[in-house]
């Protein structure tokens, strides 16, 4: 099983474009899955540069409804055709950023009736060896949730904290074992791996790759979370990227020998 980072904040090879966002392509000899689409400028050029044909992708998975993960959806679907779109039923909720006295919509618009929309709840099989997993809000230990006070949802005339009920991750069974792929891990990295462990009966993973949503978090929180990750789970390779924060990669590196940033253009055998 091969995972290629198509869109990410940093370009790791000279032939791709960097963009704040995330998109990853997963394939074996039977299936191709695209998880997320970045903001929209880098996706298609990077797919062409990396030799990934949109019309050969079998499934699109949306990890959650933020613009930097769904913005390239329309451009991609124009080239892929009407393939299944997998996402949590709440993917269209009105994700909003509150800063400087202004509230800005940062979600996505998806006409579910126009596409082959397939809801993800609990553990949902995408294809043979690839699953999407939801961590219900009441399963999440708040001790492992990053502070996101500036991210809100409308509730009548009020604004309430965004709990990201639509956050999902992927579990991939490759030749080297199980790997977990985060979008932004809004459900909390520890909480997600605990949920995966419950479903699959293991705490051993070949790789954990993707956004960990620890960028900008207090150093004490980052140290606590990475400490829990390494002590609770056996992971051969940690591959943070996107919203993880460089401090998270450094903190993981102090605890585990195998840590590398998953920049755009990199491929990973999983």
Distance CA 56, CA 31 (A): 9
Q: Encode pLDDT of 51-67 as tens digits.
A: 999 999 999 999 999 99
Report percent pLDDT > 90 for the chain: 94
Distance CA 145, CA 254 (A): 22
Distance CA 228, CA 71 (A): 33
Tally of domains in the chain: 1
Structure tokens at 131: 């699953």
Q: Encode pLDDT of 112-161 as tens digits.
A: 999 999 999 999 999 999 999 999 999 999 999 998 889 999 999 899 99
The strand order across the sheet containing 23-27 reads 117-119, 85-87, 59-61, 32-35, 23-27, 2-7, 267-269
Q: Is the pLDDT of residue 261 over 90?
A: yes
Structure tokens at 47: 């797919």
Q: What is the pLDDT of residue 100?
A: 85
**What is the domain range of residue 217?**
2-269
Number of Cα atoms under 13 Å in the Cβ half of residue 157: 0
User: How far does Cα 19 stand from its chain's mean position?
Assistant: 15
Token pair 């990295």 is found at 189
Taking phi first (over 0 means left), then psi (-120 to 50 degrees means alpha), and beta for anything else, what does residue 129 get? left
Distance CA 87, CA 118 (A): 7
User: Model confidence at 257, in pLDDT bands (50, 70, 90)?
Assistant: confident
Q: What are phi and psi of 70, to 5 degrees?
A: -125, -5
Contact criterion met (CB below 8 Å) for 206 and 176 = yes
Q: Encode pLDDT of 13-38 as tens digits.
A: 999 999 999 999 999 999 999 999 99
Distance CA 67, CA 86 (A): 16
The CATH number assigned to the domain holding 42 equals: 3.60.15.10
Structure tokens at 112: 């579910």
For residue 75, give the 3-state DSSP assignment.
helix
């Amino acid at each position: 099983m091969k995972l290629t980072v198509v869109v990410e904040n940093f370009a790791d090879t000279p032939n791709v474009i960097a963009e704040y966002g995330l998109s990853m392509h997963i394939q074996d000899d039977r299936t191709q899955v695209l998880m997320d689409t970045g903001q929209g400028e880098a996706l298609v050029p990077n797919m062409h540069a990396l030799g990934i044909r949109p019309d050969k992708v079998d499934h699109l998975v949306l990890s959650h409804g933020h613009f930097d993960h769904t913005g390239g959806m329309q451009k991609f679907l124009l080239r892929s055709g009407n393939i299944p779109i997998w996402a949590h039923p709440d993917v269209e909720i009105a994700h909003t950023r509150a800063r400087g006295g202004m509230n800005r919509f940062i979600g996505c618009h998806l006409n579910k009736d126009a596409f082959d929309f397939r809801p993800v709840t609990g553990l949902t099989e995408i294809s043979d060896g690839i699953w999407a997993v939801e961590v219900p809000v009441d399963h999440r230990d708040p001790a492992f949730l990053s502070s996101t006070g500036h991210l809100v949802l409308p509730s009548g005339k009020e604004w309430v904290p965004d709990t990201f009920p639509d956050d999902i991750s992927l579990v991939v069974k490759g030749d080297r074992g199980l790997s977990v792929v985060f979008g932004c891990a809004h459900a909390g990295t520890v909480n997600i791996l605990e949920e995966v462990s419950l479903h699959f009966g293991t705490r051993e993973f070949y790789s954990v790759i993707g956004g960990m949503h620890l960028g900008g978090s207090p150093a004490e929180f980052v140290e606590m979370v990475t400490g829990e990750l390494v002590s609770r789970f056996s992971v051969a390779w940690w591959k943070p990227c996107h919203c993880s924060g460089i401090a998270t990669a450094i903190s993981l590196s102090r605890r585990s020998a195998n840590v590398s940033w998953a920049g755009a253009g990199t491929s990973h055998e999983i």
